[in-house]
Structure 1
């Protein structure tokens, strides 16, 4: 998945540790309820308490909430 605000900076996120770093240190918008849930989910995976799929879903929802999710073209 990819994130970007105003499409001027895009992160391609493919690891939970990278998602956690973005959520904790590089999130480009104000935080919301789904952002907090995604942080907890990613940290839970890194601690061995949650499944990767749970963190991915939470991260996508947080990015949607912040309106920064960049949908990839499946044909590119």
Structure 2
């Protein structure tokens, strides 16, 4: 997730493991979700709660579990 991106970036033509890790943050990923991700879920019929999970945790837990500070977690329900 990259909340600085307005739109999700996806490119499955990048096949080099090092290049994928550099661009997507992990060698086996092909996309980085942008701010549009939550609306995509809503458009296909889900109810989405946007939870700032790390805001509820002590700093030591964020570090201990290698969480992305400021990441917004979508909690999704069927409509």
For this structure pair, what is the TM-score category when the shorter chain's length is used for normalisation?
under 0.3
Look at both structures and tell me which one has the larger radius of gyration over its CA atoms. 2
Q: What TM-score, normalized to structure 1?
A: 0.25
Structure having the higher strand fraction is 2
Higher relative contact order structure (alpha carbons within 8 Å, sequence separation ≥ 6): 1
